[in-house]
Amino acid sequence: MGIIEFVVSYASTLLALSATGAFAGMLAGLLGVGGGIVIVPVLFFLFQSDGVSPTSAMAIATATSLATIVPTSISSIRAHHKKGNVDNRLLTRWGLFILFGVLLGSWLATRINGNEVVALFGIIATLSALSGLFHSNSPRFTTLPNRLGQSVMASAVGFFSVLVGIGGGTLSVPLLTLHNYPVHKAVGTAAAIGLIIALPGTVTMLILGNTPADAPAGNLGLVNLMGFVCIVPLTVIFAPIGAALASKLPAARLKTLFDIVLLVTGLRMLGQSFLSG
């Protein structure tokens, strides 16, 4: 099949993937979520529309999302670093524990049922959103916990994030802001956490993951190359735009937007999980 024929045959899919990349990149810079909170559900439903089973679709969506987060996070980190919103001291304390969680979670992701991952994605997103939306005025911790507590937090962020193919911001931003950590700094640091999660997670899934029999065209292991090629350029372009916008928005409004995105996505994924169960 020639390039023109390929583009014509997959025009709607290519357009959907490109739009996903633009929106995911904006969110990556704006909210520090690595774009996975958008990419995973979009790819999950998109692949199913092409005849891929829910189990295979979730596995491929997760791995592909992690692959796209790598360059997106790099672009977002640069933008946030220029504004002084990346906490290198926190990254030094959390880095190895995040990596431990990532390796364990990515190994497990290649061995559990895809519908369980769908449900976990929905639960994580929904609970995080509800906590932010309805407990924003509840008492908060004055500081982060001791080193042991932070090591548990970092390991959990790495483990659960890589398991469902999302950037670390989905969990790290609510956790950090719960402890009175400045939201803009939490968002900027989350972009760096996303890179620590996505890079080793992608490599692990490429090595340990097997291409499903019903995988869509262009798969390498669990990563869909067509999705990667369409999404990445636009996420890299739009991530700095989102980061620039983030520094201009009030902290409370930024947090509310973050929680609304999580809630809508989480409920949709939970609905799909129950229908497939």
Whole-structure pTM value = 0.83
For residue range 170-204, what is the model confidence (pLDDT) as tens digits? 788 888 888 888 888 888 898 899 999 999 999 88
Query: pLDDT grade, residue 156 (50/70/90)?
Result: very high
Kindly give the interhelix angle for 36-49 and 114-134, rounded to the nearest 10 degrees.
140
Q: Are 162 and 104 in contact (CB under 8 A)?
A: no
Instruction: Give the pLDDT of residue 245.
Output: 80
For residue range 28-59, what is the model confidence (pLDDT) as tens digits? 677 656 578 778 888 888 888 888 888 888 88
pLDDT at 136 over 60: no
Instruction: Give the pLDDT of residue 139.
Output: 44
For residue range 203-212, what is the model confidence (pLDDT) as tens digits? 888 888 788 8
Mean pLDDT score, 236-249: 79
| Neighbour tally for 252: CB within 10 Å | 10
